[in-house]
Amino acid sequence: MADTAEKVPAAESSSSSAEASIAVEKTEPTTTEKKKWGDVEDDDEEEANAVSELNSLSIKEEEKHESVLEEPEDSNIKAVTSGDTPYTSASRFEDLNLSPELMKGLYVEMKFEKPSKIQAISLPMIMTPPHKHLIAQAHNGSGKTTCFVLGMLSRVDPNLREPQALCICPTRELANQNVEVLQKMGKFTGIAVEVAVPERTRGVSNMRRDAVSAQVVIGTPGTIKKWIAFKKLGLNHLKILVFDEADQMLATDGFRDDSLRIMKDIERVNPTFQVLLFSATFNETVKDFVARTVKDPNQLFVKREDLALDSVKQYKVVCPNEQTKIEVIKDQIMELGDIGQTIIFVRTKVSANKLHKALAEMGYDVTSVHGSMENEDRDKIVKEFKDCLTQVLIATDVIARGFDQQRVNLVVNYNMPTKHDSGGEPDYEVYLHRVGRAGRFGRKGAVFNLLLDDRRDIEVMEKIEKYFGAHVKEIKSWNSEEEYKIALKEAGLLDE
């Protein structure tokens, strides 16, 4: 892997004046009977509220300021602890007892100043014995990656040349990205990381490799399973297992079977290992499952209405037909000039190819990425985009989650995200994740939802608005350049 350090998210905890005013209530240690996450999140009854007041440290937004930069971490994160271990929110990295090498990585390499809100709350929970499991929900772009990467680095023994931390991700892109973050943050620690994703060379010689000696392994389910099966990934010293995009990793239509299998394999060897589950979204179904699967976890969560990023303005455009969508892309989106990078999400791989071809034939410089491409092509396209060599990327939902590129200011939903099985119901989680590709760490951004002029699309959009309690403004004429300009100015992406 080439050195890609500078593309790695580095600003997760860069400070702003807004942060100074955030009050963190340090509640006394709570002695809590185990509370299922679902009990609290369904804040339908007073009972739930009572629980969260009594048993949680509740970190509240201190004041609403009309700041231009709305930081996602300004909003409420509720914590529910399990057991009687006291946790104190870490307002500074110094509070965490990290090694000097790790501190240097944070300050010098990552250029962090202090923990973001989710980091301040979750890191003590991750690091304090008896190392309880953790389920953590936090906004897109709020620094979740740092939480578990730092968690892994701090819990690993650099002198033991055995795998001790394992992180499982839904896509190779995400695995690679997390590896880069870990390498950068752990640069001075001497901790090694290995990425477990399908090799370029699909073939035989794969399993002739040596057993992994790196302390940290990050990868996708299939390859990890394979390494375990072939005894290339020893589990004897594994003490921490991380699921990135955990709701997807544990969803029935996701990677549930693989994930459970890996968990069981580890549990057999080491019953006391710690599990960390991170995502911006956890729907009710997944939540229930998680509550039954992971025992007595500490829990952090965000209310659905607080989850939409205020810094990203959302718009909808009703297009008379499919062809006009392409014209919108061509005449409006592609002609915008310098507003940063853009991701155009489409529903299928075929649409990705079609749109790519259509735009290329009109002379536009775009690239596209989806799961049927050769792995090395995928890597290359994504790297080019991260290096800012390309401005507009057409993509399926491969990169809907987690993809961190701070210069993405505009997301276009060429197709709205819908669930396949339930008759065109909106996929709320995917929508939120797509939107989250813009506005990383509180930056400004905009989303254009291109709707076909039929009931289905209109309804999907309405339901999404209702679900998140967010207003999505309409661009009244799909071909009015002026309206798009106004929208972008409003979003803060265009000057006068």
Partner DNA sequence: AAAAAAT
Q: Number of residues in contact with DNA, rule: CB under 7 A? A: 32
Nearest alpha-carbon partner for 321 in 459, 458, 451: 451
In this chain, which stretch among 273-281, 336-344, 357-365, 413-421 interacts with DNA, using CB under 7 A? 413-421
Query: With respect to DNA, which residue has the nearer C-beta, 186 or 417?
Result: 417
- Binder to DNA among 65, 111, 295, 420 (CB under 7 A)? 420
- Binder to DNA among 78, 132, 370, 433 (CB under 7 A)? 370
Q: Give one word for 402, left, alpha or beta, with left for phi > 0 and alpha for psi -120 to 50.
A: left
The dihedral of CA 113, 119, 123, 125: what is its sign?
positive
HSE (side-chain half, CA atoms, 13 Å) at 231: 0
Contact letters for DNA, residues 382-401 (x by CB under 7 A) = --------------xxx---
In this chain, which stretch among 112-120, 125-133, 346-354, 433-441 interacts with DNA, using CB under 7 A? 346-354
Contact letters for DNA, residues 175-214 (x by CB under 7 A) = ---------------------xxx----------------
Q: Nearest distance from residue 136's CB to DNA, in Å?
A: 22
Query: With respect to DNA, which residue has the nearer C-beta, 93 or 345?
Result: 345
- Contact between 158 and DNA by CB under 7 A: the answer reads no
Query: With respect to DNA, which residue has the nearer C-beta, 26 or 200?
Result: 200
Query: With respect to DNA, which residue has the nearer C-beta, 229 or 269?
Result: 229
- Binder to DNA among 427, 434, 451, 491 (CB under 7 A)? 427
CA dist., res. 325 & res. 51, Å (int)? 49
Query: With respect to DNA, which residue has the nearer C-beta, 425 or 454?
Result: 425
Q: Nearest distance from residue 429's CB to DNA, in Å?
A: 10
Q: Nearest distance from residue 398's CB to DNA, in Å?
A: 4
In this chain, which stretch among 38-46, 104-112, 368-376, 440-448 interacts with DNA, using CB under 7 A? 368-376
Query: With respect to DNA, which residue has the nearer C-beta, 181 or 394?
Result: 394
- Binder to DNA among 55, 171, 178, 299 (CB under 7 A)? 171
Q: Nearest distance from residue 422's CB to DNA, in Å?
A: 9
Q: Nearest distance from residue 417's CB to DNA, in Å?
A: 7
- Contact between 424 and DNA by CB under 7 A: the answer reads no
- Contact between 296 and DNA by CB under 7 A: the answer reads no
- Contact between 70 and DNA by CB under 7 A: the answer reads no
Q: Nearest distance from residue 385's CB to DNA, in Å?
A: 15
The interface with DNA within residues 223-252 (CB under 7 A) comprises: 223, 225-226
- Binder to DNA among 190, 371, 424, 469 (CB under 7 A)? 371
- Contact between 354 and DNA by CB under 7 A: the answer reads no
CA dist., res. 234 & res. 31, Å (int)? 37
The interface with DNA within residues 247-286 (CB under 7 A) comprises: 253-255, 258
HSE (side-chain half, CA atoms, 13 Å) at 226: 13
Query: With respect to DNA, which residue has the nearer C-beta, 228 or 300?
Result: 228
Q: Could you list the residues that contact DNA (CB under 7 A)?
A: 170-173, 196-198, 219-223, 225-226, 253-255, 258, 347-350, 370-372, 396-398, 419-421, 427
